Amino acid sequence: MKNITLLLIVILSSFYTISAQTATIIGVKGGLNLTFVNVSETIFGENTETEVGFYGGVYFDLNFGENFHLQPEVLYVSLNDFKFLNAPIYLKYSASEQFDILVGPSMNYFFDFFSNKFKVRADLGLNYNFSERLNTHIKYTIGFEEITPDGLFLGIGYRL
């Protein structure tokens, strides 16, 4: 746990250093998490169950050009009995004033597993900006391992 805390401190201080050198926006976000778990049925094949949870956290929007941004996030996710940290690092492309496309890796630290607590997933997302401060977002997370299922995040964000 000490290593994870140290890693988070280093990541956040790096974002703070980068933000001093670029145009940076800090915001909060939260919403609903739907996770799709495949359950093997002995006779009927695979059946997908959906687990519902919630998430919340902070994000940093680092502007590196007219349409390109780097958007790291730290989110706390609660999904029934499972709790984990989700830390995606997105390359964000502003297709217009209202729409953004986000793609990137997502690092996950699961608190409830005895082994293999750290997982890497891939994210693809869209933002719709209602105003300069308020947006809604959707992202799909692809798990690469059996124990890391796919997920859909739906929520709102507010730029501080």
What residues does each domain of the chain span? 2-159
pLDDT in tens, the chain (160 residues): 555 565 556 555 555 555 455 568 899 999 999 987 665 544 544 556 788 999 999 999 998 888 999 999 999 999 887 888 999 999 999 999 999 999 999 998 888 766 667 888 899 999 999 999 999 999 998 877 655 678 899 999 999 9
Q: Which fold has domain 2-159?
A: Porin (2.40.160)
And the tokens for 155?
Answer: 């929520």
Burial bucket for residue 57 (CB in 10 Å: 0-12, 13-18, 19+) = middle
